């Protein structure tokens, strides 16, 4: 049996509908992606791995459900098991002004959802790395112990940041409570870089691949800026109309970007560790 026929069989078993055609989708660093047309007319996306860590796809499904329940534009989970996740296919469109402004309003409403504490009831994943979510009393504690320090240590172990630069990052994170104003916990996407926003042909910007948890809302917006989101000024302006950010948030963007940069340093090496260190130096 070929790989594509095996994929078709799996989806047929999960959805109870025959698969008419399959096509691989390029672009994923972690999962294999396949577009499938079903006999009932639907088109779906299958994300799969041959041997994923336990709970990997269940965690993503849980995050998508959290976002959708909060009214965010997240695709419905059609099926999930230990090795795969099935979602509706989102036909790609253009990043229009209207879609960007609606995305800003959607994110503001998402971040306005009250949460009991920073973190989540279960750990998750960020890329292929485990993501600790044990609750903390303050955001500063959560950001230091659950977001920056684990990936700073891993980046050092893998030679992606040197000892002196790591010490600078650690020193800045130790005083993050003095830099970032505390806010009530907000429901976050958690991995909101440009690649996890899908501009749909239906005129909406869809949120995919979450690492959902309760955190500081500036973190989601800082991650959107890290690798560049089309129409970002429109997104931020619409966001501010619904849920204005605290004064000085623009100067704090770099603090929130330390976490994703260190994740990238641990996963890919390159210049991400140096970039994190340069940002940290600016806050000394």
Q: What is the DSSP string of 114-137?
A: B-SSBB-SS-EEETTEEE----BS
Is 157 exposed, middle or buried, given 0-12, 13-18 or 19+ CB atoms closer than 10 A?
exposed
Note if 209 is an active site residue: no
Would the CA dihedral through 185, 193, 49, 78 be positive or negative? Answer: positive
167: Cβ contacts below 8 Å, ≥ 6 apart: none
Q: What is the DSSP letter of 52?
A: P
Beta-carbon contacts of 275 under 8 Å, excluding residues fewer than 6 positions away, are 261
- How many whole angstroms separate alpha carbon 245 and alpha carbon 72? 19
The answer to whether 209 and 239 have CB atoms below 8 angstroms apart is: no
Evaluate whether 83 touches 214 at the Cβ level (below 8 Å): no
Residue appearing with tokens 């040197």? 162
Length of the chain: 284
Instruction: Check: CB of residue 206 under 8 Å from CB of residue 200.
Output: yes
Could you tell me if 70 and 109 are in contact, meaning their C-beta atoms sit under 8 angstroms apart?
yes
Task: Say if CB 204 and CB 91 are below 8 A apart.
Answer: no
> Given 106, 120, 165, 191, which residue is catalytic?
191
Residues belonging to the active site: 191
């Amino acid at each position: 049996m070929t790989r594509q026929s095996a994929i078709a069989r799996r989806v047929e078993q999960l959805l109870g509908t025959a698969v008419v055609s399959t096509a691989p989708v390029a672009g994923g660093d972690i999962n294999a992606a396949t577009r499938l047309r079903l006999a009932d007319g639907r088109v779906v996306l299958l994300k799969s791995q041959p041997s994923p860590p336990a709970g990997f796809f269940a965690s993503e499904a849980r995050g998508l459900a959290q976002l959708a329940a909060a009214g965010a534009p997240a695709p419905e989970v059609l099926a999930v098991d230990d090795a795969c996740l099935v979602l509706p296919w989102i036909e790609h469109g253009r990043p229009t002004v209207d879609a960007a402004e609606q995305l800003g309003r959607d994110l503001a409403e998402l971040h306005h959802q009250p949460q009991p504490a920073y973190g989540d009831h279960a750990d998750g994943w960020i890329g292929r790395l485990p993501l600790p979510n044990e609750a903390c009393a303050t955001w500063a504690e959560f950001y230091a112990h659950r977001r920056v320090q684990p990936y700073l240590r891993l980046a050092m172990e893998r030679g992606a940041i040197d000892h002196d630069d790591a010490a600078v990052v650690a020193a800045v994170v130790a005083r993050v409570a003095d830099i970032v104003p505390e806010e009530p916990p907000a429901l976050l996407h958690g991995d909101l870089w440009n690649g996890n926003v899908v501009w749909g042909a239906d005129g909406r910007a869809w949120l995919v691949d979450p690492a959902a948890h309760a955190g500081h809302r500036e973190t989601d917006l800082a991650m959107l800026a890290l690798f560049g989101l089309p129409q970002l000024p429109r997104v931020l302006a619409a966001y501010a109309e619904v849920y204005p950010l605290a004064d000085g948030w623009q100067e704090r963007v770099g603090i929130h970007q330390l976490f994703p940069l260190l994740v990238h340093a641990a996963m890919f090496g390159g210049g991400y560790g140096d970039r994190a260190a340069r940002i940290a130096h600016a806050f000394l």
